[in-house]
Amino acid sequence: MKAVRRKIPKVGFVSLGCPKALVDSERILTRLRAEGYEVAATYGAADLVVVNTCGFIDSAVDESLEAIGEALAENGKVIVTGCLGAQPQKILDKHPQVLKITGPQRYEEVVASVHEHLPPLHEPFLDLIPAQGVKLTPRHYAYLKISEGCNHHCSFCIIPSMRGRLVSRPIGEVLREAEQLARAGVKEILVISQDTSAYGADLKYAAQTWRDAERPARFYDLAAALGELGIWIRLHYVYPYPHVDKVIGLMAQGRVLPYLDIPFQHASARILKLMKRPAAAEDTLQRIAAWRSVVPDITIRSTFIVGFPGETETDFAELLDWLRVAQLDRVGCFEYSPVEGAAANSLREQPVPDEVKHERRERFMQLAAEISAQRLAAKVGRTMRVLVDRIDGDAAIARSASDAPEIDGTVRIHGAGALKVGQWADVRITQAGAYDLEARLAELL
């Protein structure tokens, strides 16, 4: 009798939110692929759909609920996970027909739910996955999550209530994953967490062996070890604790990229106190100046919130003055949006009208664009190494050491359509805009 081969189960996947959620999605997909599941390209081709949600601000909640509704309409069988899953009633009120809801980082529960509603068909000689696992990013860069949760209690944020307190991954595990990525051809690792510079505090900095050396689970030691891989190492979500200064030395040595993503959020000491953030704005300016004295080409990116409850025109003017002195390279700005469950909702401060929030954000971003344009103009005529992300006709779209994917600028290389995605190139900068650069190929590496 001829054997009947069962249909390979296919899972649709929707990943919303920040890079940390993207890494969660990659972990779930890696496990499912290892068990013989295929990832469907469309809702219609899937046997069920997993939606990894975001629930940080109201607009993200709305986007997540809309994505769940779309998956239900197109497929009918939906499992929900991620940050919004920490508030299941919100989901059930809108979509009571979902199969299962789990919170963030509940990888085993998600996989178990998939098993329940779509049993696996594992064929070990066919269901091979790459050593680095399933990645949702292009092959030449990857996110490396080093911890979960956060020990801060910022009044505008509910992340700790959703993702819990800081839980760092053992340093040996992190470094082995990074080494696998490098061996698989990844040329840039983006280090992420809720609070990257707090890495290892919960582990009491316990050391593990990697490459025949003891490596303490500290931010500096992790960065130094990653710097041995010989690829770009980019540091995100770094709180400016004093020990961060030591990492600037690694940047000066070329071991990690001269790039820091620091969530300053504001500059007014009064607003920072209301936000429950460190309020030493003047000290921050001094430290930025000190970093630049060691690494003149360091790129500093940050995000800010305008329109926080109680923010006056004086507070906002202080923020603009701070930015003029700080001269940050890459800046994002959000209008304050109340989040259900956040401590800021109970502040006895005057809410800022929406039209004022919008006007302040416009003024802030105008100044940020002027600063960015000036700093980029200084790069015209310089030669720099870039990493190609995509090809657009006769041009290659690349990034420099100053540019994180999808959030920063790009370098458009004219006449370089023959380059390949993931390839290094040396270029000479020919023109600068407010956020992006244009270049010509200087030397192909």
For residues 108 and 361, which has the higher predicted lDDT (pLDDT)? 361
**Residue 129 pLDDT > 60:** no
Q: What is the mean pLDDT of residues 420-436?
A: 95
pLDDT category of residue 124 using cuts at 50, 70 and 90:
very low
According to DSSP, residue 265 is labeled B
d(CA 71, CA 82): 16
Give 283-292 pLDDT, tens digit per residue.
Answer: 899 999 999 9
pLDDT category of residue 122 using cuts at 50, 70 and 90:
very low
The answer to whether the beta carbons of residues 427 and 411 sit under 8 Å apart is yes
Give 84-101 pLDDT, tens digit per residue.
Answer: 888 889 899 999 999 999
How many other β-carbons are positioned within 10 Å of the β-carbon of residue 366? 12
DSSP string, 220-246: HHHHHHHGGGSSEEEE-S----TTHHH
pLDDT recorded at residue 393: 93
The answer to whether the beta carbons of residues 387 and 232 sit under 8 Å apart is yes
What is the pTM assigned to this prediction? 0.76
Rounded to the nearest 10 degrees, what angle do helices 107-117 and 19-34 cross at? 50
Both tokens assigned to 283: 């000290």
